[in-house]
C-alpha cells in the first residue's frame, strides 16, 4: 500500500493528448521489456545491442518532428517526451537515437536538397540506414565554429575532404555520416553526406575505454583525400550558421535526455530506499534520506517543467539558441546533482552496475559535456542577456 513510484510529480503527463500519452507508454513499455534486460551487460562490455534496431524501427518514432519523407510529423514536445522515456532506462540508447534521428536526419532535413531528403530520410526513418554527425575534431571541440581543421576543396570533379573527427557517435556502423568541413577557398563551413560504407577515403575507428555512455559507439574518423560528389554536398549548408541551426534544434532534445537520466536515477533510488532496511526500518523512513529524495524530486520537477515549456516554444517557432542553451546548462547541472544523491542513498550498492544508478552517474557526465559544454552554453546565454560576447571568435 505504498504510493506508486512516479517521477512525474506535477502530472505533466495530464497535459498530453490521449494519443501522445499512448505513444509515451508504448515507448516506455518497449524500453522496459526489450531494452532494460540487455542494458547493463552491453554497457559493461561496451557493445551496442544491434538486435534492438529492428524492433526500435517498428515503434515508428524516428524523425518525430519532421514533415514528409515517411516521418511522423509530431510535435517537438513529443520528441522530448520520447527522449525522456528512452533516457529514463538508458542514456546510451537515447544518444544513439538522438545522433541518428536528431543530428544526422536533422542536418538532412534542415540543410539537404529535395533529392537528398528523398534519398535518405525515408530509409533513415525506418532505421534501414543509420546516420552519424561529424563535427568535433581531435584538436577542436568547443571552438569548432572558428577553428575547424578539416578541409574541403573542389577538384573540378569532386569535393576532396581531409582531416579528422573525434567522438562521432554511431560512426563505426553508420551508412551516412554528415561531415562538416571548411572550404579551403572561401573559409566557410560546408556539410557533406559521406557514404561511410563505400568511401575508401573514410576510416572510422572505435574509441575504446570510455567510462560513460559505453554502449554508444564513438569513433575517430580519418578523412584522407575522401572524395564526395557535389550531389552529396548538403545543398543548404553554406556556413557554420547552418550547422548551428541543427544544433539549436537538437540541444533541446539533450536537455530532455538529462531529465530522463535524472528520472531514471530518482525512481531507482526511491524504490531502493523503500525496500532497503537498516536499524530495523526501511531507510526511506529516515529524515536525512527523505531530504535527499525530496531534493532529487524538486530538481527533477523543475527540469521537467522547464523542458516542457521549452518544447512548447519550439513547437510555436519561438525557440532561440539561448533558450535551448539555458535548458541544456540547467538540466545537465541538476541531473549531476540528482544522480549523485541517488548513488548516495544506495550506499555501496550505488556503485554496482546491477542497481542501474552507477550507469546514470557515469552517463550524466557525458550529457554534461556534449552538444556544448556547460561553459559554452552559459556563454551563449550570457551573450544574449548582457549584449556582450565572451567568445573570442
Which residues here bind ligand FAD, judged by CB under 6 A? 99, 133-136, 141-142, 167-169, 213, 218, 366, 369-371, 373, 375-376
Min dist. Cβ of residue 278 to ligand FAD (A): 36
Residue 203 or 274 having the CB closest to ligand FAD? 203
Nearer to ligand FAD, 125 or 136 (CB): 136
**Cell numbers describing residue 172:** 563505426
Rounded distance, CA 292 to CA 334, Å?
A: 13
Give dist(CA 265, CA 245) in Å, integer: 31
What kind and span of H or E run contains 183?
strand 176-183
Taking the least distance from each CB to ligand FAD, the nearer of 293 and 380 is 380
Minimum separation from the CB atom of position 100 to ligand FAD (A) = 10
Which residue's beta carbon is nearest to the bound ligand FAD?
Answer: 141
Helices (H), 67-186: 76-89, 91-97, 105-111, 114-125, 144-147
Q: How far is CA 305 from the centre of its chain?
A: 19
Q: At closest approach, how far in Å is the CB of 391 from ligand FAD?
A: 6
Residue 308 beta carbon to ligand FAD: minimum distance, rounded to whole angstroms: 25
> What does DSSP say about strands 189-195 and 218-228: parallel, antiparallel, or unpaired?
unpaired
Among residues 141 and 201, whose Cβ is nearest to ligand FAD? 141
Q: Which is nearer to ligand FAD, 164 or 273 (CB)?
A: 164
Counting Cβ atoms within 10 Å, is residue 24 exposed (0-12), middle (13-18) or buried (19+)?
A: middle
DSSP state of 158: S
Query: Residue 127 is placed in which grid cell?
Result: 532505421
Distance between CA atoms of residues 318 and 83, nearest Å = 21
Q: How far apart are CA 98 and CA 105, in angstroms?
A: 9
Pick between residue 74 and residue 103 the one whose CB is nearest to ligand FAD.
Answer: 103
Task: Report the nearest approach of ligand FAD to the CB of residue 145 (Å).
Answer: 11
- Nearest approach, Cβ of 93 to ligand FAD (angstroms)? 13
Ramachandran assignment for 186, one of left (phi > 0), alpha (psi -120 to 50 degrees), beta (any other)? alpha
Amino acid at each position: 500500500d505504498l504510493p506508486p513510484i512516479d517521477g512525474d510529480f506535477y502530472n505533466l503527463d495530464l497535459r498530453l493528448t490521449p494519443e501522445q500519452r499512448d505513444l509515451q507508454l508504448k515507448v516506455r513499455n518497449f524500453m522496459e521489456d526489450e531494452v532494460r534486460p540487455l542494458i547493463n551487460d552491453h554497457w559493461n562490455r561496451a557493445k551496442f545491442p544491434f538486435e534492438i534496431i529492428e524492433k526500435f524501427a517498428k515503434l515508428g518514432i524516428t524523425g518525430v518532428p519532421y514533415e514528409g519523407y515517411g516521418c511522423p510529423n509530431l510535435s517537438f514536445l513529443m520528441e522530448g517526451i520520447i527522449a525522456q522515456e528512452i533516457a529514463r532506462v538508458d542514456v546510451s540508447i537515447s544518444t544513439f537515437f538522438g545522433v541518428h534521428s536528431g543530428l544526422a536526419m536533422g542536418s538532412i532535413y534542415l540543410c539537404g536538397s529535395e533529392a537528398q531528403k528523398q534519398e535518405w530520410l525515408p530509409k533513415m526513418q525506418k532505421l534501414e540506414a543509420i546516420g552519424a554527425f561529424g563535427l568535433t575534431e581531435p584538436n577542436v571541440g568547443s571552438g569548432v565554429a572558428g577553428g575547424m581543421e578539416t578541409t574541403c576543396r573542389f577538384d573540378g570533379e569532386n569535393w576532396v575532404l581531409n582531416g579528422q573527427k573525434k567522438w562521432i557517435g554511431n560512426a563505426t556502423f553508420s551508412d551516412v555520416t554528415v561531415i562538416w568541413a571548411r572550404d579551403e577557398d572561401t573559409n566557410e563551413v560546408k556539410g557533406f553526406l559521406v557514404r561511410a560504407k563505400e568511401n575508401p577515403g573514410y576510416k572510422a575507428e572505435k574509441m575504446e575505454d570510455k567510462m560513460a555512455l559505453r554502449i554508444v559507439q564513438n569513433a575517430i574518423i580519418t578523412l584522407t583525400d575522401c572524395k564526395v560528389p557535389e550531389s552529396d554536398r548538403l545543398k543548404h549548408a553554406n556556413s557554420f550558421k547552418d550547422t548551428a541551426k541543427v544544433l539549436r534544434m537538437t540541444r533541446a532534445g539533450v536537455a530532455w535526455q538529462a531529465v530522463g537520466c535524472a528520472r531514471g536515477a530518482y525512481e531507482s533510488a526511491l524504490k531502493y530506499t523503500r525496500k532497503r532496511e537498516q536499524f530495523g526500518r526501511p531507510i526511506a523512513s529516515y529524515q536525512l534520506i527523505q531530504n535527499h529524495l525530496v531534493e532529487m524530486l524538486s530538481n527533477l520537477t523543475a527540469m521537467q517543467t522547464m523542458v516542457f515549456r521549452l518544447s512548447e516554444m519550439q513547437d510555436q517557432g519561438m525557440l532561440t539558441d539561448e533558450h535551448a542553451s539555458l535548458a541544456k546548462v540547467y538540466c545537465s547541472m541538476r541531473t549531476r546533482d540528482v544522480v549523485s544523491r541517488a548513488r548516495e542513498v544506495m550506499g555501496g550498492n550505488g556503485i554496482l552496475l546491477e542497481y542501474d544508478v552507477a550507469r546514470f552517474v557515469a552517463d550524466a557526465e557525458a550529457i554534461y559535456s556534449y552538444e556544448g559544454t556547460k561553459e559554452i552554453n552559459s556563454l551563449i546565454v550570457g551573450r544574449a542577456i548582457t549584449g556582450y560576447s565572451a567568445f573570442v571568435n
